[in-house]
A = this chain, B = another copy of it.
Amino acid sequence: MKISIIGVGLIGGSMALKLREKNVASFIYGIDNSKQHITEALDLKIIDAEADLEKGIKDSDLIILAIPVDAARKLLPAVLDLVSDRQTVMDAGSTKAGIVGAVKNHPKRSRFVAFHPMWGTENNGPKSAIAESFSGKAGVICNKEESADDALNIVEGIVNALEMHTIYMNAEDHDIHTAYISHISHITSYALANTVLEKEREEETIFQLASSGFSSTVRLAKSHPEMWVPIFKQNKENVLDVLNEHITQLRKFKSALEKENYEYLEELITNANRIREILR
């Protein structure tokens, strides 16, 4: 099938690579405001040709939005305005209630399938794209009852081709769960980086001493604000809720240390170790 990818960055680029490898995509248009991304995506054979929005949409069976969630929410109604009943539109954003709400009453709502692949890295741009990224991860489809059966089938086929396991969820639940499982990790990682940068003035020492543990905890702090500010904005209430709980949990560690209550400290750590049984 012919596919237009709006936003040929990390996610759009990785999807393109895999869908071509699996012979799902016969031709891929890249639509991107960044000339550099288009050039890189052409060089890396991620896309076959550049297109503008109208031309790309007109000539594609499937249109994938893989741009920051605020931009996607703004652009989606205009994309749906342009599609026929034989075309399908999907997104790949990390928040779902906002985008689903934005097209709730759109006459072409049923051509859209709300999607979120549970994968990402701290990098961006087509050069970061990896075909095998999604394999084994969860691919969440939200509010499937609002999509036409044939559109849903096409997106389920895409999720299979990406080698993800499909999970169905309503958009509100999705945004609660991702606040816990993805968004809060980014905030703790940013705050940890800021802590170390604030307190550890000797940057050379950070560089020299940084252990594998620190590097993995702080890895997400490299993620770009263009992507993450809109996510936090769209999922503000849930993220605040989890952030408040996280600060409460950190205060327990603080209290255990201040009071030299090492049995309590052990209890807190033993409780955290339960994550072993869930994430092996």
Using a CB–CB cutoff of 8 Å, the interface residues on chain A facing chain B are 118-121, 137-138, 140, 165, 167, 177-178, 180-182, 184-200, 203, 205-225, 228-229, 232-233, 236, 239-247, 249-254, 257-258, 260, 262, 265-266, 268-276, 278-279
Contacts and interface: CB of A to CB of B under 8 A. Distances in A.
Name the residue in A121, A190, A212 with the highest tally of chain B Cβ atoms < 10 Å from its Cβ: A190
Nearest to A123: B276
A120 to B, nearest CB: 6
When all copies of this chain in the complex are counted, the total is 2
A124 to B, nearest CB: 11
Contacts of A245: 195, 198-199
B206 A278 contact: yes
Contact of A269 (B205, B213, B229): B229
A180 B194 CA distance: 11
Given A187-B250, A246-B191, A269-B225, A279 B220 contact: no
Contacts of A216: 216-217, 219-220
A279 B182 contact: no
A207 B242 contact: no
A246 B120 contact: no
Contact of A120 (B211, B220, B223): B211
A228 to B, nearest CB: 6
Contacts of A184: 192, 195-196
A80 B216 CA distance: 37
Given A138-B208, A191-B246, A217 B215 contact: no
Contacts of A279: 206-207, 210, 215, 218
Given A138-B208, A210-B279, A216-B220, 4 more contacts: A180-B196, A193-B273, A194-B252, A221-B273
Contact of A192 (B188, B208, B223, B262): B188
Nearest to A266: B225
Contacts of A276: 222
Contacts of A251: 247
Contacts of A258: 240
Name the residue in A208, A241, A266 with the highest tally of chain B Cβ atoms < 10 Å from its Cβ: A208
Contact of A194 (B223, B224, B265, B272): B272
Contact of A254 (B222, B233, B240): B240
A195 B246 contact: yes
Contacts of A209: 118, 138, 140, 167, 177-178, 181-182
A240 B54 CA distance: 57
